[in-house]
Amino acid sequence: MVMMNKLMVGFAAAVMGAALTAGAASAAPVEFRFDNPLPGGGSNPPPFTQGGITATTGCTVYNPLSGTVCSVTQNSEGLGVIWNRPGNPDDTSGALDGSFRSEALTFTFSQKVRIVRIDFEDVNDIDIDFFLLHIHEHDESALIIDGITKGFGRISSGLGINGATTSCSGVDDGAGGKECDVNVSAMNWTGNSFTFGGPNLDSDDAFRVESIVIEAIPEPMTLALFGSTLLGLGIVRRRR
């Protein structure tokens, strides 16, 4: 009986250790980078996997016309969106929410995660008059989590989110735009899908998503295993 109790305690301790290890590992920050172009054009990239988590990308176009399609594009600046009608391209710049149309880029993760930081690339913020021509290109975007808008505003101003911090550098990679890192870790926002861009943006916004830093949320199975282990240890100790 003593030997059996020892074995049960050892097994329970091992299981609890595994659960704690899994929980600790899942909380480590994971960075998904998208600034590597794909061979053959870099359109509609496959799912990205990092740290045991998979991110799938998708796009949406907001406009009154029917028959529209969009594609997610990838180059050395990151991910963007191309919008066009068959045989009549309207926006082939590849920059997210480029000329004429409001576009959105969505990341869907294989499990619930906490968003920590978004790194934007090729961010343009231009508003000038040149003779009779008015050039208007702002860096406006929304942050939508599981269908709920959490932020809306200039990327260079933290997407209009109180508590977010933003750091922007000058022209990067010769692309003519800034690189801006928006840290939202203080908000402690979690979800399965995160969308950038969105409807009702300024015309001719232009930016790409270079990388996203997330933290995994321990799955219910891990938490249940941890709770069962504690209960088992209590029973064994009482029997002893």
Which backbone phi and psi does 123 adopt, to 5 degrees?
-85, 120
Is the model's pLDDT at 154 over the cut of 80?
yes
* Amino acid 33: pLDDT: 94
- Residue 193 CA to residue 152 CA, distance in Å, equals 16
- Residue 2 CA to residue 125 CA, distance in Å, equals 73
Structure tokens at 44: 């509609």
Per-residue pLDDT band for 132 (boundaries 50, 70, 90) equals low
The larger pLDDT score, comparing residue 9 to residue 107, is at: 107
The stretch 211-239 carries a mean pLDDT of 64
* Amino acid 55: pLDDT: 96
pLDDT digits (tens, 9 = 90+) for 18-39: 444 444 444 699 999 998 776 5
**């996203």: which residue's tokens?**
212
* Amino acid 163: pLDDT: 94
* Amino acid 64: pLDDT: 60
How deeply is 159 buried, as exposed, middle or buried, from its count of CB atoms within 10 A (0-12, 13-18, 19+)? buried
- Residue 16 CA to residue 224 CA, distance in Å, equals 11
What residue segments make up the domains of the chain, in order of their start? 1-27+226-240, 29-217
* Amino acid 223: pLDDT: 44
Q: Give the containing element (helix H, strand E) for 143.
A: strand 140-145
CA-nearest of 101, 126, 93, 55 to 197 is 101
Is the model's pLDDT at 203 over the cut of 80?
no
* Three-class SS state of 75: strand
Is the model's pLDDT at 237 over the cut of 80?
no
pLDDT digits (tens, 9 = 90+) for 63-121: 666 556 788 988 888 998 887 666 655 555 677 765 566 789 999 999 999 999 999 99
Q: Where are the alpha helices (DSSP H) in the chain?
A: 2-26, 220-239
Q: Of 33-37, 56-60, 199-203, where does the model show the most confidence? A: 56-60
CA-nearest of 83, 41, 72 to 204 is 83
* Amino acid 76: pLDDT: 85
Least confident stretch, 36-40, 51-55, 229-233: 229-233
* Amino acid 138: pLDDT: 67
* Amino acid 94: pLDDT: 75
pLDDT digits (tens, 9 = 90+) for 159-200: 999 999 999 987 644 456 789 999 999 999 999 999 998 877
